[in-house]
Amino acid sequence: MPNNKKLNIAVLGAGNIAGAFSTALKGIKEEYNLAMYAVASRNLEKADAFAGKWGYERAYGSYEDLASDDNVDLIYIATPHSEHYKNAKMCLEHGRNLLVEKAFTANLEQTLEIIELARANDCFLAEAMWTRYQPAYGIVKDMLDNGEIGKIHYVESDFSVPISHVERLVNPILAGGALLDLGVYSITVAAMYMGYNIRSLQVDGVITPEGVDATNVVKLTYADGTMVRAKSSFVDSDSNYVKFVGSNGYLVLSNTNCPETASIYDINGTLIHEEKLPILVNGYEYEIIECAQMIREGKKEAKSMPLSETIRIQGWMDSIRSKLGVIYPWETEDTIKHDDTQIWGISPAFSDEDPWDRSNTTSYLEIFDITDNSRKIAYECNSVIEAPNWSHDGSFLTFNGDGLMYKFDLATGSVTQIPSGNLTRMNNDHVLSCDDKFISVSDESNSTGKSRIHTINIETGETTAITPLVPSYLHGISPDDKYMSYCAERNGEYDVYEIEVGKPDSEVRLTTAPGLNDGPEYDSKGEYIYFNSVRTGLMQAWRMKKDGTKQTQLTFDSHLNTWFPHISPDRSKIVMVSYRKGDLWPGDHVPNKTVELRMMDADGSNLKTLATVFGGQGTINVNSWSPDSKKFAFVSYKRN
């Protein structure tokens, strides 16, 4: 075909997406020698109105009439994705070149049949995943590759729009659900920027009574430990962005499907610079331009969105739906159930064992002596206990188990329950007062079921509420017992807060960096607060002044997620627990994992591993240093 030939572009379908496509086509048709040739609808009156509005030369009252027109050079299929298969099949049987709106079809079986038919009929075929064609992709890729935000550890994409009122989205007959409509963009981000060397995946979702996914969350772990969380929802509030979190900062795209800006922030959330991304008309123009070029060159698929990518993404969506149990009426379970080794490239040897199954667990309360690197089991039981505290007088340890608090006498080895009144759902976030007469706890017994901080008189069991807001997770008490530091979720962000005891309205936010900031505790002079933060992509140890200033990173691991830096009473050493990168999400601290107990000097120097244990959540969540700074307590586990 001559490179200067005017191409006749037609649209099959006359809905909103066809209008967006037409806006772009109208804006570029003169420069790229394209004709707004025809539109087809199942209703001639609607087709005539659409043609008149946008300037198409012809209007057809049936899709078959358009497919039969030999003057058409390219048909853009703009019907709902439940109709793409039969629409594309009909057009290809008439020998038409096609640009098919995403999702390409409803499942991989349909996709493969359409591709085979296009090849058999020597037709051009491409998927209209407009994000792939936009120059923004190359610009952002260069920004990531230049190292400004450092090594990427975590990527989050979210495309959520509250549009459950749209009938086709909730109708399984129309291939409804958030995934094919919105989630296809979120998972495409993973393929575009992070590639395919995937080690494992997890899929979660919320299914409607009609049997489609209202919300889906896909978590991918790559071979190098990088993680991607891709979410979409048609019931959640508006949320449309992509965030790449690196060791030196993070990059945010203004939206998932058609990014207009790329903003780079440092690790504390300060905007460094923002780049506007090019759009000629509305973003759809780039797919039109490339398809026209490919057709003129005699090519049969697009460079930016080759059919191999359409096959891959369609297979991913089948796999996700299979795991969610979303099966359309014309399918069977076998239609969308594929071998993950082929679809995702995942090794069949990978075990996705549930880390939260803690039945048949033996717990070992251990004491580590840093003077000779020795370990001693102080107490053993066939149930889950967690998070020892060491009393300031050195005579006992406390720990939680089954929602209650216990006291372990170091001299006798006896265990007694600490009375706690109506607090019966205490977790592993608790700290002793400086005089050892009170223990402050995080408890979920309230009507919200979320953690709230209380203080308990160890002798009488009398309780006093500290934080009016939930959730709040206690980690530190100042050396004068006047202040508490804790992790709290407020308006969707988890940050470090401080409150003055007895003044419920005195809560102050100390961290503002995006992502989880957790585990805050005071040093013995109340000068610094030590905490952990995921702001660099992996969880790392940090410290700051008590007022939240001078936030300083202490660990710079590229292969570990480090949690809960506990400062010794003499302020010389920090002990902490570290998970291997890739074993969990950077913002998670789950049980039943192999973890390292590590120690370093208070300034972050002389870092070393003391022990490797089976544990994680519950091992050393709170400060458990002995008062002489020579020992610390922790819990390890064994699965029976």
Render pLDDT for 189-216 as a digit per residue (tens, 0 to 9): 999 999 998 988 999 999 999 999 999 9
Residue for token pair 């017992």: 481
* pLDDT score at 347: 53
Segment 511-526 mean pLDDT: 95
Tokens found for residue 508? 């102050």
Tokens found for residue 263? 């903003």
* pLDDT score at 492: 81
Mean pLDDT over each residue of the chain, to the nearest integer: 95
d(CA 420, CA 402): 13
pLDDT tens, 603-640? 999 999 999 999 999 999 999 999 999 999 999 999 99
Is a pLDDT exceeding 70 seen at residue 351? no
Is a pLDDT exceeding 50 seen at residue 111? yes
pLDDT tens, 359-415? 999 999 999 999 999 999 999 999 999 999 999 999 999 999 999 999 999 999 999
d(CA 301, CA 307): 7
pLDDT tens, 305-349? 999 899 999 999 999 999 999 999 999 999 999 888 888 877 554
Is a pLDDT exceeding 50 seen at residue 556? yes
Is a pLDDT exceeding 70 seen at residue 353? no
d(CA 388, CA 338): 46
Res. 1 pLDDT band, cuts 50 70 90? low
Strands 7-12 and 34-40: parallel
Q: Residue 222 is inside which H or E element, if any? A: strand 213-222
User: What's the alpha-carbon Rg for the chain, to the nearest Å?
Assistant: 29
Segment 257-268 mean pLDDT: 96
Is a pLDDT exceeding 90 seen at residue 225? no
Tokens found for residue 175? 């291939």
Is a pLDDT exceeding 90 seen at residue 48? yes
CA distances from 295 to 11, 63, 96 (A): 17, 22, 11
